[in-house]
Amino acid sequence: MPGQPTPKSTAKEYTSSLLIAVGLALFIRTTVVQAFYIPSGSMEDTLLVGDYLLANKFVYGAPVDIPMADYTLFRLPGLHDPQPGDIVIFRSPTDPDRDLIKRCVAVGGQKLQVIDKVLYVDGKPSPNPPQSKHTDSETYPATVQPRDNFGPFTVPPGHFFMMGDNRDNSADSRYFGAVSRELVKGKAMLIYWSWESDTRPPYYTGLASIPALAGTFLWRLPARVRYSRLGQVII
């Protein structure tokens, strides 16, 4: 009948719409915003294990990478570079397949030093972030490890010095050096989901226990969610 869509044209429209939606989602993920998960306690108590957050990739200029390859084609223009105090997601300098999240404490040209756990930037004590912490009363000399005594060190141009808010339990620039601008991926924006790990018994093993395991998971799920953290802006 004239004017009536054929099955072939309908399928073509659906396929076209799907490709456009996928392309748009990939464009947004690549250039605007991306989700990240916090797997370790290096940023406690600002960020907790089990936090899921969104990162703003636009603000620093999103890197356009080749999918499934460790190579950046180019970087889109950004609004500004990371600033001291920003919580930044970046590619690990020692493991290109891994993303890290730390706080920027100094930028190119600034001189920093850690003396007995106190961070100094350009000769002045740097205030600790509100929810940062020290968990180890032991203070180590620089000859043993750089955690508590480091530097003096001048950050090279185009680089950033990153430290975890959990200062005694963070592998950061004190160990792997300043982070190059090319490794920066985005700025932490807000927490959209957060829950505690479920380490309580009973534990189930084997295929026959899958229904019981699923039931236990669903039963405990509401109590594991950290409702007060949902939608929290990261500072």
DSSP labels, 105-158: EEETT-EEEEETTEEEETTEEPPPPTT-B--------TTT-SSSSEEEEEPPTT
Full residue range of the structural domain in which residue 158 is found: 33-195
Is the pLDDT confidence value at 162 over 70? yes
Question: Rounded to 10 degrees, what is the CA torsion of 66, 70, 75, 76?
Answer: 50
For residue range 113-133, list pLDDT tens digits in order.
Answer: 999 999 999 999 999 999 999
Residue 201 within any structural domain of the chain: no
> Which SS3 state, helix, strand or coil, does residue 167 take?
coil
**pLDDT for res 79:** 81
Task: Give dist(CA 202, CA 213) in Å, integer.
Answer: 9
Q: What is the mean pLDDT of residues 157-161?
A: 97
Instruction: Establish if 213 belongs to a structural domain.
Output: no
Of the candidates 57, 102, 185, 187, the residue annotated as catalytic is: 102
Catalytic residue among 12, 16, 17, 42: 42
Query: Does residue 57 carry a catalytic annotation?
Result: no
**Domain-embedded: residue 14:** no
* Secondary structure class of 102 (helix, strand, coil): strand
Number of domains observed in the structure of the chain? 1
For residue 57, what are its two tokens?
């990739």
133 is catalytic: no
Is 158 inside a domain boundary? Answer: yes
Q: What is the pLDDT of residue 77?
A: 74
**Cα(154)–Cα(217) distance, rounded to whole angstroms?**
50
| CATH code where residue 91 lies | 2.10.109.10
With residues binned 3-state (H G I as helix, E B as strand, rest as coil), the percentages for the chain, rounded to 5, are 25, 30, 45
pLDDT averaged over every residue in the chain: 83
Residues paired with residue 111 on neighbouring β-strands, in sequence order:
154
Residue 124 domain-assigned (yes or no): yes
Asked whether residue 146 is domain-assigned, the answer is yes
